Amino acid sequence: MKAFLAVCALGLVAGCADQAAPELSESDEARLGAELANYEQAGRTVDCVNSRDLRGNRSAGEAAIIFDGLGRRVWVNRPPAGCPSLEHGRALRTSTPSTRLCRGDIATVFDPVSGISYGSCGLGAFTPYERRPSAG
């Protein structure tokens, strides 16, 4: 019986350990593609970024958030369960125990005018992109 419970627990942990981000809908994929049209991936995906290097964020649909970084850099985050309440006109509030924003941190979606909270989502890993140099 103990062995059976251990196998069940291991299966549950393994199933939660590396959830893939939800698929983007066609319209969200087009939106993210348009946002990143002048960007190229600039390194490997990381679990944490320094909060002081982030200047703002915007939604790229229900399954992706673009964080504006320093200079020409942006970070794309795909929350494992999506962030369906994040839409135009709403904002993210994060609370972290450190100076870094990391995978697994909770972000609360709220209306900056009314202060109404619309729920929360757990962040995924961060993929860096850099704006391509202008031609000409």
Mean pLDDT of 1-16: 44
Q: Is residue 11's pLDDT more than 50?
A: no
pTM above 0.85, yes or no: no
Tokens found for residue 86: 């994040």
Q: Averaged over 10-39, what is the pLDDT?
A: 70
Q: Which of 34, 22, 24 is nearest to 79 (CA)?
A: 22
Q: What is the DSSP letter of 17?
A: H
Tell me: pLDDT of 13 over 60: no
Residue 105 has pLDDT above 60, yes or no: yes
- Over residues 27-41, mean pLDDT: 91
pLDDT at 26: 85
**Range among 25-29, 30-34, 85-89, 116-120 with highest mean pLDDT value:** 116-120
The domains of the chain are located at 45-136
How crowded is residue 87: how many other Cβ atoms within 10 Å of its Cβ? 12
- pLDDT grade for 49, boundaries at 50, 70 and 90: very high
Cα torsion 25, 41, 60, 96: sign? positive
Q: CB neighbours (10 Å) of residue 77? A: 26
Q: What is the CA radius of gyration of the chain?
A: 17
Question: What integer pLDDT is reported at residue 80 of this predicted model?
Answer: 95
90 and 118 in contact (C-beta within 8 Å)? yes
